[in-house]
Amino acid sequence: MQVLNAILRKTYGWNKCEDSISLGQLSQMTGINRPNVARALKSLLSKKIASVIKSDNRGINILKFNKNYDEWVLSKPITAKKRVLSKVSTEVLSKPITKVLSKLIPTKEKKEKKESPPFILPDFIPLEAWQAYMAVRVKKRAAQTPYAFRLIIKELEKIKKNNGHDPIDVLNKSIKNGWTDVYPLKDCDTGAVKKTW
C-alpha cells in the first residue's frame, strides 16, 4: 500500500498519468528497504494494479496506475467448503442429551438484593448538627450508606457511655476539624482545666 501511494503521489500528485520512478525513489519515499520495495512492486504488477510502460537497464521504470479496477487480479474470494460428517459423528448428534446440568453452574437469574433498613436519626442528635456533619462526609467522599450512619451512631453512644462525652460536642468537634469519623474529646475540649506548675 505504501508503494502504491508513492506511485500515486509521483503520478497523479503531479497531474501526470505516468512517470519514470526508480526503486531508489520508492525506497526513499516509503522508508522501506529496496528489496522489499521491489517485492511490493512485483506484487502490484502481477495484480495489474500498476503497470510498467517502459523499462530500461538502469532500473528506472515508467510506471502507471491502472484506473480500470475491472482488470485487477485480486485473490480469489474465499468460499465455504461443505463439511461432510462421518457416520460416527451423525450418530452422536442424533442421540438425545439426557444429562442434567449441575446446580453449581451459575444461571442468569437475578438474585434479590437484601436492602438494609432505612436510617433513622436518634432523638439525642439535632438535625442541624447531623446535616453539617453529613456535608463534611460528602465533601470528603466518605460512605453515605445507612449502615455507615448506624456505625457512627453506635460509636457516638459508645463514646458517651465510656467517656461521658456529649454526642453533640463530639459531632461539632468532627465538623470543626473536617473529620469523617467521630472520636472521643480530649480533656481540654471537655472543659476540664489542667493545672500546670
The 10s digit of each residue's pLDDT in 86-129 is 555 555 555 555 555 555 555 555 555 566 677 788 888 888 98
Could you give phi then psi for residue 61, rounded to 5 degrees? -110, 150
Q: Name the grid cell of 176.
A: 470543626
For position 195, what pLDDT does the model report?
Answer: 45
Query: How far is the C-alpha of 182 from the C-alpha of 170, rounded, in Å?
Result: 7
pLDDT > 70 in the chain, percent: 71
Contact 52, 65 (CB under 8 A): no
Could you give phi then psi for residue 81, rounded to 5 degrees? -85, 145
Query: How far is the C-alpha of 54 from the C-alpha of 6, rounded, in Å?
Result: 18
CB atoms within 10 A of CB 167: 20
For position 155, what pLDDT does the model report?
Answer: 92
CA nearest neighbour of 20 among 49, 58, 69: 58
Q: Name the grid cell of 118.
A: 432505612
Pairing of strands 50-55, 60-65: antiparallel
Output the CA–CA distances (angstroms, integers) from residue 174 to 8, 22, 46, in the order listed.
73, 80, 81
Query: Which residues face 50 on adjacent strands?
Result: 65
Select the more confidently predicted residue: 25 or 78.
25
Could you give phi then psi for residue 29, rounded to 5 degrees? -70, -35
What average pLDDT does the segment 27-37 reach? 89
Q: How confident is the model at residue 48 (pLDDT cuts 50, 70, 90)?
A: confident
Model confidence, pTM: 0.39
What average pLDDT does the segment 184-194 reach? 64
For position 196, what pLDDT does the model report?
Answer: 46
Q: 22 exposed, middle or buried (CB, 10 Å; 0-12, 13-18, 19+)?
A: middle
What average pLDDT does the segment 19-28 reach? 85
Q: How confident is the model at residue 4 (pLDDT cuts 50, 70, 90)?
A: confident
CA nearest neighbour of 21 among 47, 49, 54: 54
Residue 197 has pLDDT above 50, yes or no: no
Q: What is the pLDDT of residues 134-160, one digit of tens each?
A: 899 998 888 888 888 889 999 999 999
For position 12, what pLDDT does the model report?
Answer: 85
Q: What is the pLDDT of residues 156-180, one digit of tens each?
A: 999 999 998 998 999 999 999 999 8
